[in-house]
Amino acid sequence: MQLESLKMFCDVVETGSFSRAAQLNHVTQSAVSQQIRALENRYEQKLLSRSARQVTPTPAGERLFRGCKEILARFAEVEQEIREQATEIQGATTVSTIYSVGLHELAAVQKQLLKTHPKVNMRLNYRRNDQVYDDVILGAAEIGIVAYPQPRAGVDILPFRDDKLAVVCAPNHPFASKAKVSITALSGVPFIAFDREAPTRKALDRLFREKNIDINPVMEMDNVETIKRAVEMGLGVAILPLATAHAEIKNSSLVAKPFAEGPVSRPIGLLIRKGKYLDRASGAVLEAFKQAALIPNED
């Protein structure tokens, strides 16, 4: 039994037509019929039900069809792997990422990728946290990046790094003169928060409840950039990943203070669709992430 026979059988099932399957395989309709007959003889039962209008699989044919599709798909992947091994790695990989990481923390990944695989292009899609999961599960992205990764059906999670969080305020705010800021000092202070559905907001809300701290959110935003602008204007303070505010701290438009209670961080994870074959370009991007994870974030 040859793969060509299995492909013809699948084409007949999918098109419902011997003649259309013959066209797809560039053979005569008689040749397709012979291949189907040989399969039916092999399994000693009917695999297709023929009517005047359409060809449909029998129960046995339906089972064979599902198995053949898996075999053909895996064979195509193996062929692709073999072809790729003979060539330089190149191509494009789509990465869906939350804004805060995509805008501020992927320079090391890009640098590593350019160094090792200059012909591989990493395309970034900036998405909300839940949308990143959807992109990976539905195949719209090969790799996803989220904060506080949570187990979800159809997704494998790989740890990337931990983001150090800090209290961020304007230079003229009373916190700016302190060496460290206690979490309890945030009680009643005008606070610029992430929106309620953001994983970072949910994690901070849990922290506040544990400490019995009454936070006063005067604004809720879904984008770290707009939060920084509001803090710069003196509308309140915020808790942000330190990596997202390096430029403003360097320019003295924002001040960041560590927590008096000790380091607070948020985990960042990489998402891969469970069981998905990553081509060599995507594998190169994933390896660049792993290498970049070994490089500490600037503090």
Range name among 82-86, 153-157, 198-202 with the lowest pLDDT average: 82-86
Torsion, CA 144, CA 147, CA 152, CA 155, rounded to 10: 20
pLDDT cut 70: percent of the chain above it = 96
* Tokens of residue 233, six digits: 């204007």
CA distance 15 to 37: 18
Give residue 138's pLDDT.
Answer: 87
Task: State the alpha helices, DSSP H only, in the chain.
Answer: 3-15, 18-25, 29-43, 59-85, 99-104, 107-116, 129-138, 199-210, 224-232, 246-250, 280-293
Chain segment 146-182, per-residue pLDDT in tens: 999 999 988 999 999 899 999 999 999 999 999 999 9
CA distance 77 to 71: 10
Give residue 105's pLDDT.
Answer: 85
Residues 6+ apart with CB under 8 A from 276: 139, 142
Closest C-alpha among 244, 227, 242 to residue 190: 227
Q: Do 3-84 and 91-160+271-294 share a fold?
A: no
Query: How much is the average pLDDT of 4-26?
Result: 90
Q: Is the pLDDT score of 90 beyond 90?
A: no
Chain segment 30-73, per-residue pLDDT in tens: 999 999 999 999 999 999 998 767 889 999 999 999 999 999 88
Helix, coil or strand: residue 75? helix
CATH number for the domain whose boundaries are 3-84:
1.10.10.10
Domain ranges of the chain: 3-84, 91-160+271-294, 162-266
Could you identify the residue written with the tokens 């924002």? 254
Query: How much is the average pLDDT of 225-232?
Result: 95
Chain segment 108-121, per-residue pLDDT in tens: 899 889 988 999 99
Closest C-alpha among 126, 66, 138 to residue 101: 126
CATH pick for 91-160+271-294 out of 3.40.190.10, 3.40.50.720, 3.90.320.10, 3.40.50.300? 3.40.190.10
CA distance 12 to 54: 10
CA distance 13 to 8: 9
How would residue 295 be classed by pLDDT, with cut points 50, 70 and 90? Answer: low
- The end-to-end CA distance of the chain, in Å, is 63
CATH number for the domain whose boundaries are 162-266:
3.40.190.10
Give the number of other Cβ atoms within 10 Å of residue 177's Cβ: 10
